[in-house]
Amino acid sequence: MCGIFAVFNYKNAAQLTYEGLFGLQHRGQESTGIVTSDGRKVYKDKYKGMGLVNEVYVKTNKEAKEGQVPLEELIGDIAIGHIRYSTEGSSSIRNAQPITVTHKDKVYAIAHNGNLTNYADLKKKLENKGSIFKTTSDTEIILHLITKSKKKKLENKVYDALKQAKGAYSLVLMTKEELIVARDPYGFRPVSLGKLNNTYLVASETCAFDQTEARYIRDISPGEILKINKKGKESIFLPSKKHKFCIMELIYFARPDSYVFGKSVQGIRKEFGRQLAREHPVEADIVIAIPDSGKYAAWGYAQESGILQEDGINRNHYIARTFIKPSGRSASVKIKLNPVKEILQRKRNVTVDDTIVRSNTMKGVVRMEREAGASEVHGRISAPKIRYPCYYGMDFPTKEELVGSSRTVEEIRRIIGLDSLGYLSKKGMLDCTGECKKEFCTACFDGKYPV
């Protein structure tokens, strides 16, 4: 999963993009990049780095250390930005985005959130036609397809390219004078349009608009290709498909203060917790959330069950999210989370989390709770059992790494060391989303892949 942000018509676009990316930092911590244009030139000589947004960027050249990028060198009123965690292509500076290319004296820069499922086929075809790739990221495929198009208008070049792409993508593309925003016809990944006075902004989540004091206008529609330039904005559309929004955005990935797919993320997570309590009640003294992703589901569970909620696990906020770190997941659980003995001792507790993917976090937490003196630990998960890999941008691309792929709930309970384990049903989860419950991708739960 990644985060994208873009700005059109703002005097210091790089600074505004920095602020927007800061608001999207939860979507990836491996690398970040910002490319800008002043209408005459695209500034791309030194624009990206490995690490967090506030580690890579500084204001001035004087402050910059090795590997850091001074924002004062990123000149212009147009910008696109990206924060990354890798699902296709290794974690390296060459795969950091935006990715740029110069074709017939025209510079293109692209930033992408998602995964192309026909990446290998497209790459082979392009290589057979003479394309040379400088990254191992699927994002570069789209850039090559755009430059191969014989159409004159930028939006038509993008249309030509995306007609050939399969899978999930929300992307921003810029030249020295235009900005393009596009979303796949299924609408897998969120992307929204905002405005700040006469400035247009684009973001993966609405929380980034709050960060920059912009107002949300609307979501980019599935299949939409939106062009923004000095003349205004104009949209064309790819052939429509049945919507398949990624339910994991609401379960885990999006920030709780965002609105995603028209839904309040925090509100939906609380409702997941309430439904979970209705489906899997248990006698207990306290409800505990695994912070931070289990927080709102735990609130909902406590409200519905009438069981007291306590903060029995403390989170160290100076470590990145465990699930999206590419390595060292097991070791990071101990560093990230710590039980509060005074709360847990001699208590029967319900420990709530959003998902169990590989089981590292839940297993580590249960062990710590037992050591802290908990008399019973009951696991409650505010999503169905993850049984199948995701090919659309979530970081579990193989069935073998999923603890739920071939095990029963009872087997998982024993592996983790719980007294009981309950998952939210797929029907219960979808019912919580209201009128759009048929518009979600649930392939990781049921193996029904849309594309």
Residue 18 lies in a domain: yes
Average pLDDT, stretch 86-95? 75
Residue 396: the pLDDT is 86
The reported pTM is 0.94
- Which of the four pLDDT bands, split at 50, 70 and 90, describes residue 378? very high
One domain for residues 159 and 277:
no
Give the domain-ending residue among 241, 256, 279: 241
Both 131 and 182 in one domain: the answer is yes
Interatomic CA distance for residues 425 and 392, integer angstroms: 22
User: For the domain that residue 279 is a member of, what is the CATH number?
Assistant: 3.40.50.2020
Last residue of a domain, one of 210, 241, 272: 241
Q: 56 and 196 share a domain?
A: yes
| 170 shares a domain with 27 | yes
- HEC assignment per residue over the chain: CEEEEEEECCCCHHHHHHHHHHHCHHHCCCEEEEEEECCCCEECCCCEEECCHHHHEECCCCCCCCCCEEHHHCCCCEEEEEEECCCCCCCCHHHCCCEEEEECCEEEEEEEEEEECCHHHHHHHHHHCCCCCCCCCCHHHHHHHHHHCCCCCHHHHHHHHHHHCCEEEEEEEECCCCEEEEECCCCCCCCEEEEECCEEEEECCCHHHHHHCCEEEEECCCCEEEEEECCEEEEEECCCCCCCEEHHHHHHHCCCCCEECCEEHHHHHHHHHHHHHHHCCCCCCEEEECCCCCHHHHHHHHHHHCCEEECCEEECCCCCCCCCCCCCHHHHHHHHEEECHHHHCCCEEEEEECCCCCCHHHHHHHHHHHHCCCCEEEEEECCCCCCCCCCCCCCCCCHHHCCCCCCCHHHHHHHHCCCEEEECCHHHHHHHCHHHHHHEECHHHHCCCCC
For residues 378 and 301, membership in a common domain is answered with: yes
Instruction: Report, as an integer, the average pLDDT of 32-54.
Output: 96
Which residues are the active-site residues?
A: 2
Average pLDDT, stretch 157-168? 98
> What is the band of 317 on the pLDDT scale with cuts at 50, 70, 90?
confident
CA distance 287 to 295: 10
Residue 400 predicted with pLDDT over 60: yes
Q: Give the number of domains in the chain.
A: 2
pLDDT at 56 over 70: yes
pLDDT of 119 higher than 70: yes
Domain that holds residue 384: 248-446
Average pLDDT (393-409) is: 92
47 and 66 in a single domain? The answer is yes
Q: Are residues 279 and 424 in the same domain?
A: yes
- Residue 165's alpha-carbon distances to 157, 207, 394, in angstroms, are 13, 29, 18
Pair 314, 179 in one domain: no
pLDDT at 397: 79
**Mean pLDDT computed over 297-311:** 99
CATH number at residue 56: 3.60.20.10
Q: What is the mean pLDDT of the chain?
A: 95
Q: Based on the domain organization, do 145 and 204 belong to the same domain?
A: yes
The domain boundary residue, chosen from 241, 266, 291: 241
With a pLDDT cut of 70, the percent of the chain lying above it is 96
451: in domain: no
| Whether residue 261 sits in one domain with residue 158 | no
- The answer on pLDDT for 343 being more than 60 is yes
At residue 9, the pLDDT reads: 99
Does residue 231 lie in a domain region? Answer: yes
Are both 291 and 151 inside the same structural domain? no
Q: How large is the average pLDDT for residues 387-404?
A: 92
381 and 321 co-located in one domain: yes
